[in-house]
Copies of this chain bind each other. A is one copy, B any other.
């Protein structure tokens, strides 16, 4: 039986979803819990990786279980073995052809910016930006990123050359919050570092350090060296994966 799990985690203490050399990955911790429950090695497949310090409200993974039990019981059994900063939110039964990565249709990432730099509770959960930032200009610049593009310019140099770098962004929305704002990105998928690099570039526009049109120029270069900006991992949240 294939089980689909939705998991929420505070990424602060982890090297990211995947195991790193000398550092613990979230995947590893979840697999250990499932292996204990199933009494045989269980591997999980996520919708995609999240980097070190990046958070998730709705990361999705699947696993093929030998032990069957009602979904709610599975949820409690896994949570009982997980640390408090990783919580299974939902467990669902799926058909055999369900695949957390290949079946994913849309993803939503939020990037959280705060004006409240004297707040000691936020540095692991937001990027601090000046409250003078020009959000209208950021909105204007973000329009260049909407639609279907080759996003090579907004990707890590460690990217796999063989993978397609054409993605579709359907939504970039700015939501004002108490002492800050969040940028909501929705699309068919995102390259490694893409959301953070796009955000950092938009923040440069908002700080009047570059012009709106430079976002378009960077995008059109399709060059991994074109964008020099990368926002803090702490502000990034994988919010939702749709199937």
Contacts and interface: CB of A to CB of B under 8 A. Distances in A.
Q: How many copies does the complex hold?
A: 2
A233 to B, nearest CB: 15
A125 B120 CA distance: 12
A118 interface: yes
A118 B85 contact: no
Contacts of A123: 84-85
B121 A125 contact: yes
A8 B87 CA distance: 28
Contacts of A84: 120, 123
A9 interface: yes
A22 interface: no
A65 interface: no
Contact of A89 (B55, B86, B118): B118
Nearest to A8: B120
Contacts of A110: none
Contact of A87 (B85, B87, B119, B125): B119
A118 B125 CA distance: 18
Interface string A47-61: 000000001000000
B79 A9 contact: no
A87 B10 CA distance: 22
A87 B120 contact: yes
A16 to B, nearest CB: 15
Interface string A104-123: 00000000000000111101
Contacts of A88: 118
Nearest to A9: B120
Contacts of A9: 120
Q: Output the residue of A8, A79, A87, A89 with the most chain B CB within 10 A.
A: A87
Contacts of A119: 8, 87
A86 B123 CA distance: 11
Most buried by B among A84, A85, A123, A125: A84
Interface of A: 8-10, 55, 79, 84-89, 118-121, 123, 125
11 contacts: A8-B118, A8-B119, A55-B121, A84-B120, A84-B123, A85-B121, A86-B120, A87-B118, A87-B119, A89-B118, A121-B125
Given A10-B121, A84-B123, A85-B120, 7 more contacts: A8-B119, A8-B120, A9-B120, A79-B118, A87-B118, A89-B118, A121-B125
